[in-house]
């Protein structure tokens, strides 16, 4: 495949964000050099660091840079020093606005425990099974984007958050989920609370009607409380899970524990074909770890490889990076948060250099590793 030219908007953000972003950029730079691609990285202020510099978590220049890029790579945002600000001025408000401005309405979170790390999962191996789940979450509607009201103080306080969905909003994310299921094992679990919520009743009705157009897909519906239990009891029963914004936020964080750490899971947020998608690890900014070179970079690196696969169509390159991570883990190297007594504990920067060295070494062993570079 001839080399590609891509512009990547880079949002290091706050806390451990700059450290783990450096890890991803290093491997993407190696990838470009190895496979003959050209990646232009445009670093832009975002989140709390942007508030400190400009007073705005999403400066106009950052938004423009994201819109003109081929993809957006985000590390992490937020921190205690900005939590006292009004909700609409916090770093997280910048992320909600960015999603809206980019038209992102689908979130994809793959949960696949890494072979070398199955021992750190809270589930026993026999219960974990062959866990391989994709959680697809609607991202632009629901209670997060509905009307928020609060009146009064103290004992007389009152608050309201409105959840809203239209048939069209449900249909567009459900179509994507059915297509993902077609490319995988052919099973789709739609999660709702249709016995209580009007939005969930509409959700189930819409998904059921659409399911008739995908006769090869096994469609099941599950209430969210049961789904949260089943994810822990028998995770390998799931293939693709489809759900709304708030339920998806909760369930995907719960499911990340199956892999052993929230720091291991990547995500993609996307909109219409041809518009830039946003890639980020699902963990937070971990302010207490910032600047200590101890954060786990796997979620961030995996987000970069997900970008290669989903936005750029570079499957071999994505596998190249992922295999490098797995081989370093196979050698027993771990950052402190995913370590065990017999681990070879290394710092974040050291782990990255090990992966970089390993993938370069793989190029001299094409028969062993199967890289057709």
| Res. 343: pLDDT tops 60 | yes
pLDDT category, 357, cuts 50, 70, 90?
Answer: confident
Structure token pair of residue 293: 């070179």
When pLDDT is averaged across residues 249-264 and rounded to a whole number, the result is 93
Q: Within 10 Å of residue 289's Cβ, how many Cβ atoms? A: 18
Q: Is the pLDDT of residue 287 over 80?
A: yes
Rounded Cα–Cα distance for residues 90 and 86 (Å): 7
Residue position matching structure tokens 């995913």: 338
Tell me what pLDDT residue 360 has.
Answer: 62
**Catalytic (active-site) positions:** 144, 193, 225, 249, 253
Which segments of the chain belong to CATH 3.40.718.10? 1-105+277-373, 122-259
**Rounded distance between C-alpha atoms, residue 307 and residue 263, angstroms:** 17
- At 361 the pLDDT is 64
Rounded CA separation 319/279 (Å): 17
H-run or E-run covering 372: none
Angle at Cα 282 formed by Cα 277 and Cα 286, nearest 5°? 125
At the fourth CATH level, the homologous superfamily of domain 122-259 is Isopropylmalate Dehydrogenase (3.40.718.10)
According to the model, what pLDDT value does residue 1 have? 56
**Predicted pLDDT at 365:** 41
**H or E element that contains 123:** none
CB atoms within 10 A of CB 49: 21
In angstroms, the first-to-last Cα distance of the chain is 10
pLDDT digits (tens, 9 = 90+) for 15-33: 999 999 999 999 999 999 9
Per-residue pLDDT at 57 exceeds 90: yes
On average, the pLDDT of the chain sits at 93
Percent of the residues in the chain that have a pLDDT greater than 90, as a whole number: 88
pLDDT band, very low/low/confident/very high, at 370 (cuts 50, 70, 90): very low
Q: Where are the beta strands (DSSP E) in the chain?
A: 5-13, 38-43, 71-76, 106-111, 133-138, 148-151, 158-161, 187-192, 218-223, 240-243, 266-270, 277-281, 333-334, 344-345
1-105+277-373: CATH, from 2.60.40.1220, 3.40.50.2000, 3.40.50.2300, 3.40.718.10 = 3.40.718.10
Judged on CB neighbours under 10 Å (0-12, 13-18, 19+), 257 is middle
Write the pLDDT tens digit of every residue in 80-118: 999 999 988 999 999 989 999 999 999 999 999 999 999
Give the model confidence (pLDDT) of 202-217 as tens digits.
Answer: 999 999 999 999 999 9
Over 70: is that where the pLDDT of 362 sits?
no
């Amino acid at each position: 495949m001839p080399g590609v030219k891509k512009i990547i908007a880079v949002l290091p953000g706050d806390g451990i964000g700059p450290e783990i972003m450096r890890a991803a950029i290093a491997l993407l730079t190696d990838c470009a050099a190895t496979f003959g691609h050209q990646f232009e990285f445009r670093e832009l202020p975002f989140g709390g660091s942007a508030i400190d510099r400009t007073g705005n978590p999403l400066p106009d220049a950052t938004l423009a840079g994201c819109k003109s890029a081929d993809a957006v790579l985000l590390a992490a945002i937020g921190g205690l020093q900005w939590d006292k600000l009004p909700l609409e001025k916090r770093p997280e408000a910048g992320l909600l606005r960015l999603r809206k401005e980019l038209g992102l309405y689908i979130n994809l979170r793959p949960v696949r425990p890494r072979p070398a790390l199955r021992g750190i999962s809270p589930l026993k191996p026999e219960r974990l099974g062959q866990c391989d789940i994709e959680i697809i979450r609607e991202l632009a509607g629901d209670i997060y984007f509905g009307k928020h009201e609060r009146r009064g103080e103290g004992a007389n306080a009152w608050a309201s958050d409105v959840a809203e969905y239209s048939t069209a909003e449900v249909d567009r994310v459900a179509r994507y989920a059915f297509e993902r299921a077609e490319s995988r094992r052919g099973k789709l679990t739609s999660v709702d609370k249709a016995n209580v919520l009007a939005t969930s009743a509409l959700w189930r009705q819409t998904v059921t009607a659409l399911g008739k157009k995908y006769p090869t897909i096994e469609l099941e519906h599950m209430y969210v409380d049961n789904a949260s239990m089943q994810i822990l009891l028998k995770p390998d029963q799931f293939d693709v899970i489809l759900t709304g914004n708030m339920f998806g936020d909760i369930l995907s964080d719960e499911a990340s524990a199956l892999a052993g750490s929230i720091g291991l899971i990547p995500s993609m947020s996307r909109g219409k074909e041809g518009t830039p998608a946003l890639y980020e690890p699902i963990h937070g900014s971990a302010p207490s770890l910032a600047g200590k070179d101890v954060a786990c970079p796997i979620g961030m690196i995996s987000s970069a490889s997900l970008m290669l696969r989903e936005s750029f169509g570079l499957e071999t390159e994505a596998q190249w990076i992922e295999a490098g991570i797995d081989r370093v883990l196979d050698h027993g190297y771990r950052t402190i948060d995913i370590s065990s007594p017999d681990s070879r504990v290394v710092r974040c920067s050291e782990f990255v250099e090990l992966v970089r060295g390993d993938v370069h070494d793989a190029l001299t062993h094409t028969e062993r590793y199967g890289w057709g570079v």
